């Protein structure tokens, strides 16, 4: 179904006040999913963003899977163990086949790991997941050793986000070949049929899948980034499942007898990414002139910005209670959360004004806050509210919205200074590795460090945690790194959100902390 058709139907549904009738799909073996995040490729290693990861996981597997409780489960590897501090052994499943009929071999694992950080034109690579891997050694057709340059205690969890591809199908191919289908050959539960950028991805069941047989013969994933259109598509029966339900719409969906709503906690923290360069392109004096010195480099200014934001109000009014104010990276209850840190900065606008005076900005300054309008359901309302709060204390803040692809590109190119976004942590250190460590492409650090943050004390604490094999010692060092970067406000944490899915009442789905909408986990009741 074309995106334009869906939007037209959505508009008619809203104007007619549709709220209760949900049509049943014409073919019970077909599943249609309306997703809030626009995916830009089916190449599983083109860009490390959630919308792309969501679609690649339909077609590709990893050595290890992440369960709905954030636990690790066997994937293409049936088991794994530590042989020494720098050698991990993985036992592969027997008889696993790629979609083209070729058997999974150790060389496919080695090829995929080598490709992860080396995809041309990748806006944000998967280098952080494989940063320490030295080589993959075949012991026998079903046993491999992965040797690392230094101890890498989180390697099993990191490998859960490295999609395994067929060397024979992918070697020498480009991301465009994936999008055309010629290279989109995995071992996953569904096979590539058709991809039209901005319109749909059509998949067919893999009847030779090594795992549980999928319930659906075909799956169509439709990017519907407009909240009203996505909601109306569900209510009119044009799709069977949607993700990214805006919090304001949850109550009426929960009252609809034809709709099932499923919600669950996430590891995703929403935050402001701050520009740490000497000159910030989107920070000005009150007359709109570029400043010689970037005020955001001053910790007191960052503290003022943090104190000026009423997180509880954002949670109550915009998130409708479907979030928790955040004061660090990992949510309470997840491994890596530091119990010593306050849950969130106390709202203190007068304190913010005093800090600005101390920093030499008694009259404040101007800046622009950027985000995308088609990635998160509440992003536009959120940045408008934050801008008003900052303006009240003297940081006169304008807002600019853009499509997510343009927003990400401008951020990568260093054109932005304050960015609102979210990061779904895949481990207790993944955000620190990718977003906060000093950028070092060769070592796999800072692939998403668009604030150009660099703190040697933090880098050393994080690297120490990353090479500490003892669980207690690693957790202590992770807490230390977290405390350093939170106190330095390398980012400004805002809140952790709850994710919600809506679907026909005759479907079931188990939520997961990574906000994935995997068709293999959607089943008829």
- Residue 96 phi, psi dihedral angles, 5° rounding: -70, 135
Residue 383 domain flag: yes
Evaluate whether 322 touches 500 at the Cβ level (below 8 Å). Answer: yes
Evaluate whether 484 touches 455 at the Cβ level (below 8 Å). Answer: yes
Residues 216 and 283 in one domain: no
Nearest-angstrom CA–CA distance, 320 and 341: 25
Last residue of a domain, one of 133, 152, 176: 176
Pairing of strands 200-205, 190-196: antiparallel
Taking Cα atoms as reference points, which of 129, 120, 243, 124 lies closest to residue 177? 120
Last residue of a domain, one of 152, 176, 200: 176
Last residue of a domain, one of 176, 198, 229: 176
| 335-364 burial code (b ≥16 CB/10 A, e <16) | ebbbeebeebbebbbebbbbbbeebebeeb
Residues 352 and 463 in one domain: yes
Nearest-angstrom CA–CA distance, 415 and 372: 14
Residues 249 and 278 in one domain: no
Taking Cα atoms as reference points, which of 183, 110, 62 lies closest to residue 518? 62
- Residue 459 phi, psi dihedral angles, 5° rounding: -55, -45
Q: Number of folded domains in the chain?
A: 3
Residue 10 domain flag: yes
Residues 209 and 326 in one domain: no
pLDDT of amino acid 72: 94
Residue 427 domain flag: yes
pLDDT of amino acid 202: 98
Nearest-angstrom CA–CA distance, 354 and 76: 56
* Angle (deg, nearest 10), helices 3-16 and 227-235: 80
Counted residue by residue, the chain has a size of 525
Query: How far lies 188's CA from each of 209, 229, 265, in Å?
Result: 7, 30, 26
- What beta strand segments (E) does 315-430 contain? 323-325, 365-372, 395-402, 418-424
Nearest-angstrom CA–CA distance, 134 and 504: 48
Taking Cα atoms as reference points, which of 60, 88, 107 lies closest to residue 148? 88
Evaluate whether 233 touches 7 at the Cβ level (below 8 Å). Answer: no
Collapsed DSSP state (helix, strand, coil) of residue 418 = strand
pLDDT of amino acid 12: 34
Residues 134 and 212 in one domain: no
pLDDT of amino acid 123: 87
- What beta strand segments (E) does 330-433 contain? 365-372, 395-402, 418-424
Residues 84 and 198 in one domain: no
Q: Quote the distance between the C-alpha of residue 159 and its chain's center.
A: 16
Q: Between the CA atoms of 469, 105, 111 and 121, what dihedral angle is there, to the nearest 10 degrees?
A: -110
Pairing of strands 323-325, 283-284: unpaired
Residue 124, domain CATH: 3.90.76.10
Residue 515 domain flag: yes
Nearest-angstrom CA–CA distance, 45 and 59: 13
* Residue 464 neighbours by CB under 8 Å, 6+ apart: 477, 481
Residue 183 domain flag: no
Residue 252 domain flag: yes
What one-character DSSP code corresponds to residue 278? S
Evaluate whether 311 touches 270 at the Cβ level (below 8 Å). Answer: no
Residues 117 and 25 in one domain: no
Q: Is 446 left (phi over 0), alpha (psi -120 to 50) or beta?
A: left
Identify the domain containing residue 196 by its residue range: 1-36+189-258+505-525
Residues 288 and 437 in one domain: yes
pLDDT of amino acid 343: 81
Residues 144 and 282 in one domain: no
Residue 128: CB atoms within 10 Å: 29
Residue 437 domain flag: yes
Residues 141 and 54 in one domain: yes
* Residue 308 neighbours by CB under 8 Å, 6+ apart: 347, 349, 352, 389, 390, 392, 393, 395
Query: How far lies 350's CA from each of 389, 395, 424, 501, in Å?
Result: 12, 13, 33, 40
pLDDT of amino acid 28: 63
Residue 399, domain CATH: 3.10.105.10
H or E stretch at 496: strand 491-504
Residue 210, domain CATH: 3.40.190.10
Rg (CA), the chain: 23
Collapsed DSSP state (helix, strand, coil) of residue 294 = coil
Evaluate whether 512 touches 295 at the Cβ level (below 8 Å). Answer: no
End-to-end CA distance of the chain: 25
Residues 233 and 315 in one domain: no
Residue 108: CB atoms within 10 Å: 24
Q: Which residue is associated with the tokens 């007068």?
A: 350
Residues 318 and 416 in one domain: yes
Residue 182 domain flag: no
The per-residue pLDDT string of the chain (525 residues; one tens digit each, 9 = 90 and over) reads: 333 334 443 333 333 333 334 444 445 699 999 999 999 999 999 999 999 999 999 999 999 999 888 899 999 999 999 999 999 999 999 999 999 999 999 999 999 999 999 999 998 889 999 999 999 999 999 999 999 999 999 999 999 999 999 999 999 999 999 999 999 999 999 999 999 999 999 999 999 999 999 999 999 999 999 999 999 999 999 999 999 999 999 999 999 999 999 999 999 999 999 999 999 999 999 999 999 999 999 999 999 999 999 999 999 999 999 999 999 999 998 999 999 997 899 999 999 999 999 999 999 999 999 999 999 999 999 999 999 999 999 999 999 999 998 999 999 999 999 999 999 999 999 999 999 999 998 899 999 999 999 999 999 999 999 999 999 999 999 999 999 999 999 999 999 999 999 999 999 999 999 989 999 999 999
* Residue 285 neighbours by CB under 8 Å, 6+ apart: 291, 365, 366
Nearest-angstrom CA–CA distance, 201 and 214: 17
């Amino acid at each position: 179904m074309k995106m334009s058709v869906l939007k037209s139907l959505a508009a008619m549904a809203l104007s007619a006040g549709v709220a209760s009738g949900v049509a049943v799909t014409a073919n019970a073996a077909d599943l249609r999913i309306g997703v809030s995040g626009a995916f830009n490729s089916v190449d599983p290693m083109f860009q490390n963003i959630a919308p792309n990861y969501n679609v690649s996981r339909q077609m590709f597997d990893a050595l290890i899977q992440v369960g709905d409780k954030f636990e690790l489960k066997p994937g293409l590897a049936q088991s794994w163990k530590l042989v020494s501090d720098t050698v991990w052994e993985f036992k592969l499943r027997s008889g696993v086949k790629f979609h083209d009929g070729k058997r999974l071999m150790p060389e496919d694992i080695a090829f995929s790991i080598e490709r992860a950080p080396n995809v041309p034109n990748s806006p944000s690579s998967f280098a952080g997941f494989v940063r320490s891997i030295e080589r993959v050694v075949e012991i026998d057709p079903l046993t491999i050793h992965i040797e690392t340059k230094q101890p890498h205690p989180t390697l099993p969890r990191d490998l859960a986000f490295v999609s395994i591809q067929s060397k024979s199908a992918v070697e020498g191919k480009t991301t465009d070949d994936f999008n055309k289908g010629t290279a989109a050959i995995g071992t996953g539960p569904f096979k590539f049929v058709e991809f039209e950028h901005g319109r749909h991805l059509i998949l067919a069941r893999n009847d030779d899948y090594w795992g549980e047989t999928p319930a659906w013969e075909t799956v169509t994933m439709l990017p519907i980034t407009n909240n009203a259109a996505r909601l109306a598509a569900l209510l009119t029966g044009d799709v069977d499942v949607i993700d990214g339900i805006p919090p304001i719409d949850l109550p009426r969906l929960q009252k609809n007898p034809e709709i099932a709503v499923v919600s669950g906690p996430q590891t995703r923290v929403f935050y402001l990414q701050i520009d740490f360069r000497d000159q910030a392109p989107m920070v000005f004096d009150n007359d709109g002139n570029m400043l010689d010195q970037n005020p955001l480099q001053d910790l007191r200014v960052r503290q003022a910005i943090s104190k000026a934001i009423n997180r509880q109000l954002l949670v109550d009014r915009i998130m409708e209670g479907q979030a928790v104010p955040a004061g660090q990276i990992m949510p309470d209850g997840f491994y890596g959360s530091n119990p010593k840190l306050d849950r969130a900065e106390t709202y203190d606008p007068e304190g913010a004004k005093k800090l600005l005076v101390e920093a030499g900005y008694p009259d404040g300054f101007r800046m622009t806050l950027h985000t995308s309008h088609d990635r998160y359901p509440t992003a536009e309302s959120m940045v408008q509210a934050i801008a008003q709060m900052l303006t009240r204390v003297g940081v006169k803040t304008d807002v600019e919205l853009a499509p997510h692809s343009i927003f990400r590109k401008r951020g990568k190119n260093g054109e932005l200074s304050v960015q609102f976004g979210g990061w779904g942590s895949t481990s207790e250190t993944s955000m620190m590795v990718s977003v906060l460590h000093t950028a070092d492409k060769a070592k796999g650090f800072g692939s998403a460090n668009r604030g150009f943050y660099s703190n040697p004390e933090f880098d050393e604490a994080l690297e120490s945690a990353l090479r500490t094999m003892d669980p207690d010692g690693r957790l202590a060092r992770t807490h230390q790194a977290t405390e350093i970067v939170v106190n330095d406000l390398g980012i400004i944490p805002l809140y952790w959100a709850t994710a919600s899915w809506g679907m026909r009442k005759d479907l079931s789905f188990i939520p997961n902390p990574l906000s994935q909408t995997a068709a293999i986990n959607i089943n008829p009741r």
